[in-house]
A and B are shown apart, each in its own frame.
Chain A
């Protein structure tokens, strides 16, 4: 199976500059639907799904490989190699911010700039560090995911298909959902919320931008400032209106922030 199939890679536009958009937890590449139209005319937009999300090949899931964010970063590098990309501007939402950072540290020759939307190098509070969550919050979140197993498959499937005009597609996909999907999602949640990549921030050698919503319940301005203080050439843009998904709730502001940073 090639990487294009494995990660359900989609390419829009044929500009000289590549923008790679990486979705966050609980979403797939459709999460960028309100953003990509602003860039597809002038850039080459690369979209993909992580294993366990969207239309990525679920059979390619390896528990060991994806037991930490490095496994997902390796996927990003695989995609760059497969598409022979260079000077990529990587835009990651939520956990993808750190995944992109790790990929840029591991294979800096592929990347030019990084854009983090709602990032966090560590979600769980620590001594002298505010991440916003306690360990119990993670366990409670996993409980909520368990409680919403049926909802997980039922509500996510149509979004995965990305074709609300043809809900039958979503119904078919819902039927094909298996417990493993939830298991992978829960494992992903554990990996995300137990990760600690504060030590990797100083290793990022390319310019980066943090876009942080003021209303974000998952991360916060404090976390954005922590990243700013510990990362070489990092800028911060705070969005007044944005929650955890400002690219959905305030796409114009996100497009504007991205444009300002990359032009």
Chain B
């Protein structure tokens, strides 16, 4: 049915429905007018029905008396000053609690002023959002749970003897536990300068951190951290990416464990081992030189009579000898040459700087 057809066929109904007083009284929201001191001037039937009070009963009550005590405090401390300063207030959540009535509402108000600008009255609409508020209460509960979890994490992170930190996926540090703040004597906003990391170790860390951020892989590193008091200590830094259920990287969890004593002990052992090795090398080198000297000396000592023997064999070779003697001399010469080569090899290998003992 068109609008025109409805009006023509139901003129009485149309007048009733659009009658402003009917709309005021039966609108699906509450209307209330009250004085600056809270005295109620008028409410519509919808609101009176919600409160389970007659209009006359309501007029004996002050506006803030309809609210919860906390709501009344909030009205006096926040909303009332705003109405004075701005002339309106929007979407304020109030609970109206009276007798058996307990409804959550959205309260929108404008002030009515006289020519001097003095507030004469406040007109407000009230929308029942009780059901929606239950859902919001669940959301609020979840928000508080998340906040409580955050506080628990902070408590836990402050109770462990480590420096604990978290970073956003881009590497920006967004949390340092109290132990870290106290140890470094810095504010969180200064954390991203990495000034706590010892200057010499900073490039190594920056490179490793950048690689981890790029590849989303964990970082493990031993480095030195300079405390706010100037104390330099070794730490084992561990950072691991946390991925949410969808596999998206949400946060980096990092810790720095003090390994100063172990590290210094290890370094001491390393230095001790290095010294031992150095001594061993010196001993070996000394022995080697002596060996070379001995080998050289002995080789020369042996080679000298051999050279005499070989010279005498050459002289014999120039003499006329019986055939069987010539044959024996030849065999003797071969053996002398072989012995000569052997001695030369000893001399050569003894003087080899890489490995004088190798064959």
Contacts and interface: CB of A to CB of B under 8 A. Distances in A.
Interface of A: 24-27, 30-31, 33-34, 94, 133, 137, 140-141, 143-148, 150-152, 154-156, 158-159, 162, 164, 215-218, 241, 243-245, 248-249
B188 to A, nearest CB: 12
A16 B73 CA distance: 38
Contacts of B69: 137, 140
Given A148-B93, A154-B90, A137 B70 contact: yes
Contacts of A30: 85
Interface of B: 36-38, 64, 68-74, 76-82, 84-87, 89-94, 119, 136, 140
B78 A26 contact: yes
A217 B76 CA distance: 7
B70 A144 contact: yes
A159 B93 contact: no
A80 B170 CA distance: 44
B94 to A, nearest CB: 8
For the complex of A and B, the 7 pairs showing the least CB-CB separation, nearest first, are A140-B70, A248-B84, A244-B76, A26-B78, A141-B70, A147-B93, A144-B74
Given A243-B76, A244-B76, A151 B81 contact: no
Contacts of A158: 86
Contact of B93 (A31, A137, A144): A144
Contact of B92 (A31, A33, A151, A215): A151
A94 B140 CA distance: 29
Nearest to A139: B70
B38 to A, nearest CB: 7
Contact of B77 (A94, A133, A162): A94
B84 A155 contact: no
Nearest to A214: B37
A226 B68 CA distance: 27
Nearest to B94: A144
- Listed residue (B38, B64, B76, B87) with the most chain A CB atoms within 10 angstroms of its CB: B76
A125 to B, nearest CB: 13
Contacts of A24: 77
A94 B93 CA distance: 23
A246 B24 CA distance: 32
A33 B89 contact: no
A198 to B, nearest CB: 21
Contact of A248 (B72, B73, B85): B85
B150 to A, nearest CB: 12
A191 to B, nearest CB: 14
Contact of A245 (B68, B71, B84): B84
A31 to B, nearest CB: 6
A164 B78 contact: no
B1 to A, nearest CB: 41
B89 A155 contact: yes
A155 B70 CA distance: 18
A217 B73 contact: yes
A218 B77 contact: yes
A143 B70 contact: yes
B190 to A, nearest CB: 14
Contacts of B93: 144, 147-148, 151
7 contacts: A144-B68, A144-B73, A147-B140, A150-B91, A155-B90, A159-B82, A218-B73
Nearest to B70: A140
B74 A33 contact: no
Contacts of B86: 155, 158-159, 164
A157 B260 CA distance: 52
A145 B74 contact: yes
A150 B82 CA distance: 15
Nearest to B106: A151
A14 B74 CA distance: 36
Contacts of B80: 243-245, 248-249
A27 B78 CA distance: 7
Nearest to A185: B78
Most buried by A among B72, B81, B90: B81
Contacts of B84: 34, 245, 248-249
Contacts of A244: 76-77, 80
Contacts of A140: 68-70
B282 to A, nearest CB: 61
A190 to B, nearest CB: 14
A220 to B, nearest CB: 12
A162 B82 CA distance: 11
A245 B70 contact: no
A215 B37 contact: yes
Contacts of B76: 216-218, 243-245
A249 B80 CA distance: 9
A141 B74 contact: yes
Contacts of B94: 144
A41 B69 CA distance: 41
A216 B90 CA distance: 23
B73 A137 contact: yes
A217 to B, nearest CB: 5
Contact of B81 (A27, A137, A154, A241): A27
A158 B89 CA distance: 11
Contacts of B119: 249
Contacts of B72: 217
B82 A155 contact: yes
Contacts of A146: 140
B36 A155 contact: no
